[in-house]
Structure 1
Amino acid sequence: MTLADKILAFNHTLHLEEAHLPPSVQVLYPYINLNSPIIDSITRQFYNKYYADDFQRRMIIGINPGRHGAGLTGIPFTDTKRLEECCGITVDNFQCHEPSSVFVYRMIAAFGGVKEFYQQYYFTSVCPLGFVKVQPNGKELNYNYYDDKAFFQRIKPFIVEKLQEQLSWGFDRNKAFCLGTGKNFEFVNQLNNEFHFFDELIPLEHPRYVVQYKWKELDNYVQKFVNLLK
Structure 2
Amino acid sequence: MPDFATRLLQLFSTFPLPATPLPLGVEARSSYQEPEVQDLMRRFAQRFYRANHQRVGIFGINPGRFGGGRTGISFTDPVALSDSCGITHNLPQKRRELSSEFVYNFIAELGGPAGFYDHFFLSAVYPLELTREGKNYNYYDAPAIIKALWPDMLRSLTSQAERLNLRRDVAVSLGRRNGEFLQKLNNELGLFERIEILDHPRFLMQYRRKRLAENVARYVEVLGSLVR
2:203 corresponds to 1:204 = no
Match of 2:10 in 1: 9
Distance 2:18 2:208 in 1: 38
Find the residue that maps to 1:168 and give its secondary structure: helix
Find the residue that maps to 2:179 and give its secondary structure: helix
Find the residue that maps to 1:115 and give its secondary structure: helix
2:112 corresponds to 1:113 = yes
- Over the matched positions of the two proteins, sequence identity in percent amounts to 38
Figure out how many residues of one structure are paired with residues of the other and give that number: 221
Distance 2:132 2:223 in 1: 34
**Residue of 171, 175, 180 corresponding to 1:176:** 171
Match of 1:24 in 2: 25
Distance 1:79 1:162 in 2: 22
**Residue of 27, 39, 42 corresponding to 1:41:** 39
Which string of whole-angstrom CA distances, capped at 9 and with x for unpartnered residues, describes residues 26-72 of structure 1? Answer: 1121123xxx2221221111111111221110010100011110111
In structure 1, runs of 5+ residues without a counterpart are 135-139
Find the residue that maps to 1:116 and give its secondary structure: helix
Aligned amino acid, residue 4 of structure 1: A
Distance 2:18 2:212 in 1: 39
2:139 corresponds to 1:145 = yes
Aligned amino acid, residue 12 of structure 1: S
Distance 1:16 1:39 in 2: 17
User: Deviation at 1:20?
Assistant: 4.6
Match of 1:94 in 2: 92
Aligned amino acid, residue 19 of structure 1: T
* C-alpha RMSD of the superposition: 1.3
Greater alpha carbon shift after TM alignment, 105-114 vs 22-31 = 22-31
Aligned amino acid, residue 112 of structure 1: G
User: Deviation at 1:150?
Assistant: 2.0
Match of 1:218 in 2: 212
TM-score calculated relative to the size of structure 1: 0.92
Do the aligned partners of 2:78 and 2:91 also contact (CA within 8 Å) in 1? no
- Runs of 4+ in structure 1 off by over 6 angstroms are none
Which string of whole-angstrom CA distances, capped at 9 and with x for unpartnered residues, describes residues 115-152 of structure 1? Answer: 01000000111101121001xxxxx1111111111221
Aligned amino acid, residue 174 of structure 1: D
Do the aligned partners of 2:171 and 2:194 also contact (CA within 8 Å) in 1? yes
In structure 2, runs of 5+ residues without a counterpart are none
Which string of whole-angstrom CA distances, capped at 9 and with x for unpartnered residues, describes residues 1-41 of structure 1? Answer: 11221111111101123515014211121123xxx222122
Match of 1:190 in 2: 184
Which string of whole-angstrom CA distances, capped at 9 and with x for unpartnered residues, describes residues 183-214 of structure 1? Answer: 21111111122221211101001110111111
